[in-house]
Amino acid sequence: MSVLAFAELLYDSEIGTSLRESLFAFPIVEGIHLIGLALSVGLLFFIDLRLVGLVFRHVPIPQILKQLRPWLLGGFAVTMATGALLFVAGATKLIELPVFLWKLAFIVFAGINAAWFEFKWGRNVQQWGYATTLPTGVLVAAWGSLILWSLVVITGRLIPYLSY
């Protein structure tokens, strides 16, 4: 099945149709998507800003990583789930919209960056987390995360303005 046919299937599905046609369901899902964003990208930004040394320099890195991780992962689960619903409601238009495809690409890059950080640095944070100068790879991952997630938010907000 082609991607287009799959998008059409989603668009015409019961859940896609009811989301589009309900007066309140769509904005409610949009609202939850935004609140999920505050938890996921919002808390992740705090970790990134801590890594590059712009906030909370007094908080040990292993502590902030360990204690915020479950909350921001929960936030990402909410953001992804509501994002999937929003996609289903507009699948046929979105799948051909360049700015939406850019958003998807930035999410993939940001995800790869996060996975790389976790496997390379997250697991042995005790070894480098207390040093005064952090490994370059950590700083690159933190700046990459800040930039990529910002691009995800920007392209996401542009979707309604570039969709016709």
Partner 1 sequence: MTSLELFNAIQNSGFGVFIGKQDRMLWAVAQIAHIAGIILVLAPIVLISLRLFGFGLYQQPLPKLAHESSKLIWLGFGLLVVSGLLIFIPAALHYHSNPVFWIKLYLILAALFIQVTLYRWITKQEKPNPWLARSIAIVTLTLWFGVAFAGRFIGFV
Report the nearest approach of partner 1 to the CB of residue 14 (Å). 21
Site membership for partner 1, residue 43 (CB under 8 A): yes
The residue range among 50-58, 101-109, 115-123, 133-141 that interacts with partner 1, by the rule CB under 8 A, is 50-58
Distance between CA atoms of residues 62 and 47, nearest Å: 10
Comparing CB distances to partner 1, the nearer of 31 and 111 is: 31
Report the nearest approach of partner 1 to the CB of residue 55 (Å). 6
Which residues in the 135-154 window bind partner 1 by CB under 8 A?
Answer: 150, 153-154
Of 12, 21, 53, 67, the one binding partner 1 by CB under 8 A: 67
Tell the residue number behind the tokens 């993939």, with chain if given. 108
Of 8, 9, 13, 35, the one binding partner 1 by CB under 8 A: 35
Which residues in the 119-138 window bind partner 1 by CB under 8 A?
Answer: none
Report the nearest approach of partner 1 to the CB of residue 1 (Å). 32
The count of other CB atoms within 10 Å of the CB of residue 58 is: 6
* Cβ-contact 121, 141 below 8 angstroms: yes
* Cβ-contact 117, 138 below 8 angstroms: yes
* Cβ-contact 19, 88 below 8 angstroms: yes
* Cβ-contact 17, 8 below 8 angstroms: no
Tell the residue number behind the tokens 């303005």, with chain if given. 161
Site membership for partner 1, residue 78 (CB under 8 A): no
Distance between CA atoms of residues 126 and 63, nearest Å: 10
Which residues in the 3-32 window bind partner 1 by CB under 8 A?
Answer: 23, 26-27, 30-31
Give the length of the chain.
164
Vertex 73 angle, CA 19 and 71, to 5°: 105
Which positions lie near partner 1, rule CB under 8 A? Answer: 23, 26-27, 30-31, 34-35, 37-39, 41-43, 45-46, 55-56, 58-59, 63-64, 67-68, 71, 150, 153-154, 157-158, 161
